[in-house]
Each structure stands twice: as structure tokens, then as C-alpha cells.
A and B are shown apart, each in its own frame.
Chain A
Amino acid sequence: AQSVAQPEDQVNVAEGNPLTVKCTYSVSGNPYLFWYVQYPNRGLQFLLKYITGDNLVKGSYGFEAEFNKSQTSFHLKKPSALVSDSALYFCAVRGLTGGGNKLTFGTGTQLKVEL
């Protein structure tokens, strides 16, 4: 069975500072990893994905994520946070075989960026 852990319910950061939202995963074989963001009363918006290749993945709105196979982590990062980045962030994993497009999500991390 595959699983995702987001250990922090909330992350607070000052605007202009770097931000990190943590994610660890468990899956058989190589993982497909995703980050999505959700704004209030909205669906999920795709940010970035890791499939294979470079461990540093760049995505939308200046976000990037670092894949670390030995630590089974896929932390989301941004060099300089904006107030508009405040939202709910979800990490998700999809296994290689079987399961079609089924995503297993973490519990989400609320990011709050303050002036």
C-alpha cells in the first residue's frame, strides 16, 4: 500500500523568506510524486511532479521540490514567499503498477504567509 505523510498541519512564514513544506512517502517501487495547491472553495491546482530524472523539479509560480530517494521525501520549496501563496498544499503519490491514476494524498499543510 502507498502512503504520504505531511508532518506539519500548518507552516507560517514571513513574506520574502524561503518556505519549505515537508512530505515523505511510502510506495513499492519508484514513485510518481505530485504537489497540488487548494485555495478556499476551489479545487486542486497542479503545481509540479516528479517522474524521473533530476531530483530538483521546478513547477508553477516559482515553486520547486526536491526528491530524495534515500529519505523518501519530496519537500516543496520556494525561495521567496508571497502573501498570495497562502493556501492548503497537498503532496500525493501514485504507484508505478496497477492502480491506474489513483492518487494517495497527504493530509495537507496550511501555509500562511504574513507581511
Chain B
Amino acid sequence: KAGVTQTPRYLIKTRGQQVTLSCSPISGHRSVSWYQQTPGQGLQFLFEYFSETQRNKGNFPGRFSGRQFSNSRSEMNVSTLELGDSALYLCASSPGTGEFYNEQFFGPGTRLTVL
């Protein structure tokens, strides 16, 4: 099976712009989670989608949003970009949500740089 894919891999934006990142989960996986990784804050949970519904949300401002499509692909959007949004954004997929036996599989990430 193909792994989790994320597009684009690298992105440069300027402050105030908005950005959309895409994630395609492993075939058959219905849960997609997003994480932000920065040197200062480490890995932080953004949100999780399962069957097109947001299941859980981390402590991020409303500028960060996401959605999931019927084919389980997910997008996350960041509006009004700030310098502090520069980070590696990681997507992870899992067959289901909350089951104790399932681990998450991560994509390679999208490196976002805000100038």
C-alpha cells in the first residue's frame, strides 16, 4: 500500500496570506490527524477528522481549520498567516479512531515558511 502523501512538500508564503495543505491517507484509512512541529513548541495536535467529521481539536486559534472529503482525503487551511506559523505540518492516518490497537502512520510533512 502507498503511504500517507502530503502536498505540497514545501511552501513559502508571506504574512497575511492564506494557505491550504493537502493530505491523502493510506487506502482504507478513515481517520486523518494533523500536527504542527516547531523547534520551540515541538509536536502539537491540531485536529482529527473521521468520516468527514471533526472528532477532536487542539488548542489553536480559529485561523487554523480543516476538512475531510468522502474519500478520506483531508485539507487544512491557515488564514492570515503569521511568522509563527512557520512549521512542519504533519498528517497522520489510521484505520479508525480511538481503537486501542491502532497506531497512526505519518506522512513526510509540508514545510511552510512564512516571510
| Interface residue ranges, A against B (CB under 8 Å) | 32, 34, 36, 41-46, 49, 51-52, 90, 96, 99-108
Report B63-97 residues with CB < 8 Å from chain A CB: 90, 92, 94, 97
Q: Which of B45, B58, B108 has the most CB of A within 10 A?
A: B45
18 more contacts with CB within 8 A, not counting A42-B109, A100-B48, A103-B33, are A36-B106, A42-B108, A44-B90, A44-B92, A46-B104, A90-B43, A100-B33, A100-B55, A101-B33, A101-B92, A101-B98, A101-B104, A102-B33, A102-B58, A103-B92, A105-B35, A105-B43, A106-B42
Cβ–Cβ contact A100 & B98, under 8 A: yes
Complex: how many Å from CA A32 to CA B105? 15
Could you say which interface size class chain B belongs to?
Answer: 20 to 34
Number of A-B contacts (CB under 8 A): 68
Interface of A is mostly: loop
Complex: how many Å from CA A110 to CA B31? 29
Cβ–Cβ contact A101 & B106, under 8 A: no
24 interchain pairs, CB-CB under 8 A: A34-B103, A36-B106, A41-B108, A43-B107, A43-B109, A45-B106, A49-B103, A90-B43, A96-B100, A99-B98, A100-B31, A100-B48, A100-B50, A100-B55, A101-B48, A101-B55, A101-B92, A101-B94, A102-B56, A102-B58, A104-B45, A105-B35, A105-B42, A105-B43
Cβ–Cβ contact A51 & B101, under 8 A: yes
Complex: how many Å from CA A36 to CA B33? 16
